A = this chain, B = another copy of it.
Amino acid sequence: MHIRKLDPSTFQPSYGVTCTRIFPSPESGDTPFNAYWSLIEPGGASQLHRHHEGEAFIVVRGTGIMTVDDETEPVDVGDVIFMKPLTDHTLANASETEQLLFMNVYWEDIKLLLAEDDEEEAAAPKGVLTLAYPTPPNPNGDVHLGHFSGPFLSADMYIRHRRMMGDPAYMVMGSDDNQVWTATMAEARGETPQQTADHFAHKIDETLQMSRIDCHYFFHPNATGLNRQMLDNAVSKLYADGHLVAKDAPALWCESCDIYLFEALVRGKCPHCDAECCGHSCEECGLPNQTVDVKDAKCAHCKSTPVERNVRRLFFPLEPHREMLEEYHRKTIMSNQHRALITRLMGDELPDICVSHLCDWGIPVPMEGFEGQIVSAWFEMAFGYLVGTEELAQQEGIEGGWRAFWCSDEARVVEVFGFDNCWNHGVWFPAVLKAFDANANPPGAFLSNQLYRLDNQKFSTSRDHAVWARDILAMNSPDTVRCYGAYTCPESEQTNYTREAFAQFVEEELIGKWQGWLSSLQQRMDTLYGGKIPEAGAWTAPHLSFLKRLKGFLDDATEAYSLEGFSPQRAARTACQLVHAGNEFGKSESAWASSPTAHNELRTSLALELAAARCLAMITQPLMPDFSNHLWSCLGYGEPLKEWETEPHFVTPGQMVTGLSDDYFPTPVISED
């Protein structure tokens, strides 16, 4: 016997309470659960947290208030509170005088954990109003492959998949006309900034159409008065409510040009990582700066070193929104890199964000006392999302306008952006939105990506180190460009594009393996069945094993298109693996054809191979819509493929297979020379 006496002097602080471990102990050896005594002092509470284990609290002395996710209940001695994995929980001492003693027991149950997740998936409501909104690009150039393989392709794949899942899902894009970059480029082109903005916005829209990025609404912020009206209203309201404050603060000033420097007008080194950067934030490490802290700052125009001058501008103090943000971050889906960056930022004191600048391009601050100042284009963007959504809703006849998406617990808003935008979208935009309208919900999920590199260097419009999406699309099919973009998508790390690797991928994988398999399938179908799809006949163990593999590929793709596991790379790679498996299976099956009496097994094999081709059409529908539609119609379907399936299905027997041996993928052209 071993008796462990209750001894509060051995308790150590943890999660806001004091604890001591009971099991496992040296006497018990490994136990299949962990048990602790925990004490909460009068008025105290355990820190809100979640973990993957199942857990139970058993109250032994005192009274408490238990909160699990959105439920709150009083608890007493003898109560046993059970919490499922991954639920947020906290226990508060209800008494002002007495300690609360409880035992907590937790245990690992991977099955329960995975079952929870499956249940959630199964319970996912159908028909969720969905919006994906990639960050509007600066209209100072066309779309390069870096933009394309990041936010645009991701948003498009995600929305196409949601539509297959039955959701009314939309993608809105726009151009960020009022950025100072536009004015800079306009000067170089000898145009007005709006002329420049319109020129490139039109180009961008056209390029997206060429690449089958299915944008449902393209938002031009200065096209109607709506954007300015919304921003005037928001700035005035936030100022009146005290969320925006006027403050004299140091700013950079170029004495030689006699201009106030901000964003694109200042060049220097990031105060965090020393990479080249402008005012506002760093593309390399994703961290924000305060402009005055940019190292070796120079005026972008004349290259001279600026001085500091106090300028009275509008600021949005972020620190008061800390609690709201912490809660928001807990329940929002985002990549772990994004969450890590946010956690790091939230660990420091949150800054006052400068949201007005001395500039003559942009939307003027509507209040008196800020003459000559415009509202920062970033701040404008936070509301531009709402205006773009409003205009989409008007076009589509969606009742409730922007509020249908942004003020409803039933809707889903996903923002899609490059890593350098995590700070804006993840931290201060949500606070600004909530301060503006307490009923609004910031996005429920973010899809973010890292930088795409060209020949191992950063894409750069100014240095002309870029592959323009328009150029490569003019010479290659959208399918090949999309597939390779997803295959090499910079998800968890920067990836590199080379023209040679693209050409090799198209030649070896798409033409060699994909086209090779489908051609062989067509030839065998023609020879054996005159192209008419047979019904499956006799089944063998390898037949069944192949069907299971098809199910596995669909599961992988379903996960790759979900918010939680979103991965264009995995979607593209799963499609390739499916083709390889189909190809090997096809070869392994060719033996039946030479056995005159094996016709029942043979037709099962062909039916399964055609089911594999059907799965390929399914998996590639969000990724390579033209190819998927072509393949689908080759399989004899008259109606387009609309619905996502998580089980493999046979192609309807009796349908005619045609055209699979047509050369579908053009030989890659990688240079105009």
Q: Which residues from chain A sit less than 8 Å from chain B, CB to CB?
A: 1-6, 22-23, 25, 27-33, 35, 37, 49-52, 54, 56, 58, 60-61, 66, 68-69, 71, 73, 75-84, 86-87, 89, 101, 103, 105, 107-115, 117, 333-337, 339-341, 343-344, 346-347, 491-493, 536-545, 547-549, 551-552, 555-556, 559, 562-565, 584-585, 587-589, 591-592, 594-598, 600-601, 604-605, 647-650, 652
Contacts and interface: CB of A to CB of B under 8 A. Distances in A.
Contacts of A77: 6, 60-61
A80 B6 CA distance: 8
B52 A536 contact: yes
Nearest to A565: B545
Contacts of A2: 81-82
B28 A54 contact: yes
Given A79-B5, A563-B541, A32 B33 contact: yes
A287 to B, nearest CB: 10
A572 to B, nearest CB: 14
A73 B1 contact: yes
A32, A78, A555, A584 interface centre (most CB from chain B within 10 Å): A78
A34 to B, nearest CB: 9
8 contacts: A2-B82, A33-B105, A52-B543, A110-B648, A336-B588, A491-B588, A493-B584, A541-B564
A655 to B, nearest CB: 11
A589 B336 contact: yes
Given A340-B601, A584-B492, A542 B87 contact: no
Contacts of A73: 1, 3
A184 to B, nearest CB: 32
Given A336-B591, A559-B545, A597 B82 contact: no
Contacts of A115: 29
B548 A596 contact: no
Given A3-B73, A32-B32, A339-B598, 16 more contacts: A1-B87, A3-B66, A4-B82, A31-B54, A32-B108, A33-B107, A51-B537, A51-B539, A78-B101, A105-B105, A114-B547, A339-B540, A343-B598, A344-B597, A541-B564, A545-B565
Contacts of A601: 336, 339-340, 343
Contacts of A89: 1
Contact of A32 (B109, B334, B598): B109
Given A50-B539, A537-B51, A6 B79 contact: yes
Nearest to A648: B110
A338 to B, nearest CB: 8
A541 B337 CA distance: 12
Given A1-B69, A81-B3, A538 B347 contact: no
A346 B604 CA distance: 20
